[in-house]
Copies of this chain bind each other. A is one copy, B any other.
Amino acid sequence: MFSSKARYGLKAMAVLANRYGAEDYVSVEEIVASEHTPAKFLESILTLLRKQGLLVSRRGPAGGYRLARPPREISLAEVVRTLDGAFAPTTCARSRNPICCEGCEDMEHCYIRPFMRQVRDEMAAVLEGQSLADLADGYAPDGSN
């Protein structure tokens, strides 16, 4: 259900969370080396995360990326939402800007919507409740990759 983008993104964020505090930047190449992700693809993913404000970058030698905020203050939800969009099963179940599904006319009376909202709420609760710090806790360099 999550795309490769989200998976690669989460793993990259784990690497960056692990390096948070050290004042240097981590290059794409470095992340690729430790997580085995396609370089150019990862580059585009990190760009999205930067544009969303989750990362800060610097160009040139010794350039790269680092987290814009402490790992504890970035939830997994923010990362996934940036890369995969809202995680509601139907568009009418989104918390922000909900719209009817194809063929449905009245959101208020839609009888599947309450169930879809419930699914959304649970997913959101899990992902909002976990931060990059939690993710980095389980991280072992050269462990699983």
Contacts and interface: CB of A to CB of B under 8 A. Distances in A.
Contact of A143 (B36, B109, B134): B109
B143 A112 contact: no
B103 A37 contact: yes
Interface string A1-19: 1101011001100100000
Given A7-B101, A90-B7, A122-B123, A112 B1 contact: no
A1 B88 contact: yes
Interface string A102-129: 1111111111101110110011011100
Interface residues of A, number: 47
Which 4 residue pairs are nearest across A and B when measured between Cβ atoms?
Answer: A111-B138, A109-B144, A2-B89, A122-B122
Interface centre among A104, A112, A114, A115 (most CB of B within 10 A): A112
A92 B67 CA distance: 27
Nearest to A88: B1
A27 interface: no
A35 interface: yes
A88 to B, nearest CB: 7
19 contacts: A1-B89, A1-B90, A2-B90, A10-B112, A35-B103, A104-B145, A105-B145, A106-B145, A107-B144, A109-B143, A111-B138, A111-B139, A111-B140, A111-B143, A115-B130, A118-B130, A119-B127, A122-B122, A122-B126
